Structure 1
Amino acid sequence: MPAQTSLAPAVGIDFGTTNSVVARAAAAGSVDLVRFTAPDQASAVFRSALCFWQDDALRGGLGHEAGPWAIAEFLADPQGSRFLQSFKSVAASATFEHAPVFNKRLTFEVLGQRFLDHLIDHAGDALRDLPERIVVGRPVRYVGARPDPVLARSRYNGMFARLGCEIHYVYEPLGAAYGFASRLSDPATLLVADFGGGTSDFSIVRVEAPDAPRRCVPLASAGVGIAGDRFDFRIMDQLVLPLLGKGSTYRSFDKVLEIPPGYFADFSDWSRLALMRNRRTLAELGKLRMAATDAEAIGRMIAVVENELGYGLYEAVGAVKRDLSSQTHAAFTFEGEGLSVSADVSRADFERWIAPDLAQLEAGVDRVLARAGMEPGQIDHVFLTGGSSLIPAVRRLFEQRFGESRIASGNELTSIAHGLALIGSAPDLAEWTVEEVEEA
């Protein structure tokens, strides 16, 4: 940790697309991860998910939960609830205005406030009294083709105003860099690559000697709107959707035509997939099944939508992705109401599917090096964090560029929150905050 004479209590919040983590720094310099006694087991990782259900006995007529409790509520009654995850991915989207939840229209700010209410409640005494300093991580680049960082900042402000404290925003990879600096005893230049659910961010930081007045100096940052969710969709698109009819044909009068890809567009995002379960869409899919040359495949797609199997399907996809990080081959299997599918996949297949995404990640590394005015040989350490840093092809990208000996990893899901809390306790907090909201 950077050398300091006095520290302020602070909380660091890594609000992630898939998972969120909170850390609390004490005046003595210690940092503890906030743990949640989840339905299955205690964990420092809180799923970034919400579940809503109708309940006339409650104010507003809606019950709601977040985190793993949201998942449990959804699995208990998938037909009577609405499950939303990855809602962070719409923070910078001007086309997103609200999420329709039963007869309500909930803005991003309201979704975020509900999420925070439950996160704090499930943290118990750990977040009962919040310190004045709250540091929230933000992506270097938000998700989306044309993300609006000004809009995202406004929505974040509305969400985190719920905490009643002054909020400071810091690039997520800088949080990881600040924490990693505590491992170093000598001056060094550090590159951090943070692979989240929606974005991959890169930061270069100069780390001075432990007794330096200012231990860490951020030099440059860059980001790419590609990460774990995109890798999941590659498996969904290439492995799973063909089992649900993608690429097959249907009969139209005397012609046999390929089923338009638009039927499968909503499978790219779980929150959109959940909205397909409506009378109009199901009627259209029923007509498609009657005309399809592979009616069974379209029947499987209908089963996913009608029985709200999307959550479980994406969980199975995520399991395959994790298996391929440690194995050269994996088996995809999924069974749900009206649906049973299976297929084999190799790591080589997966790496071929994500090759365009890896190229964009490499371009992001090029940008951060250019902004810092550095060559790869000037980087002393590379710290990889985030779940997708475990994918061999991602790690290999950095090994080839910087050399295996300079690569470090660990605490893939918690390192950012830990570092954000440390930054919040530091006297030079203002030097780390993102005051400009223009896209980096």
Structure 2
Amino acid sequence: MTVQPPNTIGIDFGTTNTVVALTDANGHARLVTFNTSEGQSATFRSALSFQFHASIDGEPPERVVEAGPWAIDAFVEDPLETRFIQSFKTFAASAAFTETRIDNKRYRFEDLLAAFLLRLSHHAGDGMANLPPRVVVGRPVTFAGGNPDEALALQRYQEAFGRLGFTDIRYAHEPVGAAFYFARLLKEDATVLVADFGGGTSDFSIIRFERTGDALRSTPLARSGVGVAGDAFDYRIIDQLVSPELGKGGQYQALNKHLPIPQRYYSAFARWDQLALLRASRDMRDIRALARTALEPEKIERLIEILDDNHGHALYRAVSALKMALSKDETADFVFAAGDVRIEKPVARSDFEGWIAPELAAIEGAVDEALAKADLAPDAIDRVFLTGGTSFVPAVRAIFQRRFQADRIETGGEFESIAAGLALIGLEPDLDLWSEKAV
């Protein structure tokens, strides 16, 4: 069967998941799906695995690279021999990250992203056959990190996406993609605030949509963003519940003195990609030495096991499970069990909200910034569209409920809205109004 080439493709490369959408000759967007071991899925986990198989019968050693759910499967099957990396989007704009070495091979960010995209394309099969020259790639309003270099991130994206054969690579802000998706549901003119909550960033756009006959005219009014979202919430949970059980806040003995255990060992838990990198860093030697001098050596031994045995993914799942539970219930149990490490604690939603108070304040400030840039009062916003997994957190939803009437707030398309909207942007006659090219 001949596969009809799509007109445009939209790719939402997210911190946690990646979603791909294609447009057809009728101007409709459809999602690319993947046949995984757990069934068909339109979301593809933003993860990579590297396995190095020793030579057999004189054959050269083999490096096996996988991505998405296949990377997770490889890691679960052989965690000790697998380098597992997730959430690597968070250092796209970091000039401090130049490379990581895996099996003595140098990988820059663009190498990691290109490897990920090539495996994603492979697993999509016919779904990504005969790709068009134009791709619209989602980008956050503000990249994650303390001092993000936007130009550097787009240069890295440009090289990685170019390796797939795209010749017309454009970038659009992720909430703008979500807005285009949401606009299909509008029956009348409306000023819309779109809030997109990803793993690494929270982004906001205000857009005016007006109907002219059968056409929908749209005008961007303002945008804002902040480099905190779901991953930052994860870190607060780990910092409160896990790190103290791994030695944070403890002491070790040196030269007849009790000294504090360095905090930098635990800062890696702020980003899932850094947790994988810590295992291969020089700090591991010092952490192993601490197990002999720490006043509570059993806690350091837990830390070593988590790093050595690649328990980061199990920890990620435990944290995600707690967040989901607290979105529904006032209390929930945190349960992390991997190898010989087991940590269980009850958590109240009010405690969790106290832990993430700094992030909530930053998100709230970005919402107000978007309104100020558009010179609009909250009651001038006709519709509010929330998308992304973190939008389910009650304290996040409360930010909007305090500002806007409940009947104006909608949610949906948590995973597909951005990719579908990006693909639709690729059909716009005035592309420069909605997207940009890397300089």
Q: TM-score range by the shorter chain?
A: over 0.9
**How far is 1:275 from its partner?**
2.9
1:51 is aligned to: 49
1:16-55 pair list within 5 angstroms: 16-55=14-53
State the 1:302 CA deviation.
1.8
Cα pair distance change 1:278/1:174, threshold 3 Å: closer
CA distance in 2, matches of 1:278, 1:201: 33
Superposed, 1:144-293 pairs within 5 Å as: 144-165=145-166, 166-209=168-211, 211=213, 214-277=216-279, 281-293=283-295
Cα distance in 2 between the residues matched to 1:181 and 1:349: 37
- CA distance in structure 2 between the aligned counterparts of 1:138 and 1:411, rounded to whole angstroms: 18
CA positional deviation for 1:212: 6.5
Deviates most, 194-203 or 36-45: 36-45
> In the alignment, what sits opposite 1:382?
384
Q: Displacement, 1:231? A: 0.6
Identity of aligned residues (%): 49
CA-CA distance at 1:423 after TM superposition: 1.3
Paired letter, 2:402: Q
Q: 2-side partners of 1:86 and 1:292: how far apart?
A: 31
Counterpart position of 2:306: 304
Structure 2: distance between partners of 1:436 and 1:161:
12
How far off is 1:311 after superposition? Answer: 1.5
* Structure 1 unaligned regions, length at least 5: 1-7
In structure 1, the partner of 2:100 is 99
Cα distance change, pair 210–78 in 1 and its aligned pair in 2 (3 A): farther
Distance 1:329 1:287 in 2: 38
**Are 2:47 and 2:85, in contact at CA under 8 Å, matched by a contact in 1?**
yes
SS of the residue corresponding to residue 236 of structure 1 reads helix
CA distance in 2, matches of 1:33, 1:140: 23
What does 1:59-78 correspond to in 2, within 5 Å? 61-78=62-79
Q: Deviations over 1:410-435 (max 9, x none)?
A: 11111101111111123233321135
SS of the counterpart of 1:96? coil
How many angstroms apart in 2 are the aligned matches of 1:124 and 1:23? Answer: 14
Structure-1 separation of matches of 2:158 and 2:86: 20
SS in 1 for 2:361: helix
* C-alpha distance 356-280 of structure 1, shift in aligned 2 (>3 A): closer
2:419 paired residue number = 417
Corresponding residue for 2:126? 125
Which digits, 9 at most, give the CA deviation of each residue in 1:261-292, with x for residues without a partner?
A: 12322222222222333595444334323332
* Bigger mean CA offset, 250-259 vs 14-23: 250-259
**What is aligned with 2:86?**
85
- Summarize the Cα distance change of 1:279–1:192 in structure 2 as closer, same or farther, 3 Å threshold: closer
1:362 partnered with 2:385: no
Q: Which runs of 5+ in 2 are unaligned?
A: 1-5
Do 2:210 and 2:217's aligned partners in 1 also have CA atoms closer than 8 Å?
yes
Shift of 1:210: 5.3
Query: Which region of structure 1 is more displaced relative to structure 2, 122-131 or 51-60?
Result: 51-60
Listed one character per residue, the Cα deviations across residues 8-67 of structure 1 (whole Å, up to 9, x for unaligned) are 821111011110000111111222111001122210000011111114679994210100
Shift of 1:248: 2.5
User: 1:3: which partner in 2?
Assistant: none
- 12-21 or 329-338: which moved more? 329-338
Provide the residue aligned with 1:403 in structure 2: 405
Equivalences, count: 430
Structural mapping, 1:131-142, within 5 Å:
131-142=132-143
Please report the TM-score for the alignment, with normalisation by the length of structure 1: 0.93
3-state SS of 2:221 partner: strand
Deviation (angstroms), 1:393: 0.2
Distance, in Å, in 2 between the alignment partners of 1:54 and 1:290 is: 32
* TM-score where L is the length of structure 2: 0.93
The Cα offsets for residues 54-88 of structure 1, whole Å up to 9 and x where unpaired, read as 14679994210100000111111111121111111
- Secondary structure (helix, strand or coil) at the match of 2:234 reads helix
